[in-house]
């Protein structure tokens, strides 16, 4: 990251960019597996220096866990079978003429 963006700072699991001629800060979280960049906060240099944003934006919290796939119950293999569709009754089955 630092090779491509010299003004970037890594703070916990956040990346902070200097923007606007070093007047503003852009706090992001970069999700490498999905190639997404989440913008967490844009602030002035003064707001950045107060350090409140680190806790507000969770820069030191672990990333969220991926949802786990549900395991089938023991003795079952694969998804449940679908019920067959019943045939519609015809007029001849009821003794009615067509």
The tally of domains found in the chain comes to 1
Cα(first)–Cα(last) distance of the chain, in Å?
Answer: 78
Q: Is residue 66 part of a domain?
A: no
The parent domain of residue 45 ranges over: 9-56
Q: Is residue 84 part of a domain?
A: no
Q: Is residue 90 part of a domain?
A: no
CA 51 from chain centre, in angstroms, equals: 26
Contact 26, 42 (CB under 8 A): yes
Q: Is residue 41 part of a domain?
A: yes
**pLDDT, tens digit, for every residue of 6-65?**
878 888 888 999 988 888 999 998 888 888 999 999 999 888 888 888 888 888 877 667
Q: Which two tokens stand for residue 62?
A: 């672990």
């Amino acid at each position: 990251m630092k090779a491509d963006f010299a003004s970037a700072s890594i703070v916990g699991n956040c990346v902070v960019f200097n923007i606007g001629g070093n007047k503003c800060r852009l706090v992001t979280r970069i999700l490498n597996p999905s190639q997404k960049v989440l913008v967490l906060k844009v602030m002035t240099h003064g707001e950045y220096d107060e350090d409140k944003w680190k806790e507000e934006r969770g820069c030191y919290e672990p990333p969220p866990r991926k949802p786990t796939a549900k395991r089938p119950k023991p003795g079952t293999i694969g998804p449940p079978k679908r019920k067959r569709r019943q045939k519609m009754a015809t007029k001849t089955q009821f003794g009615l003429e067509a």
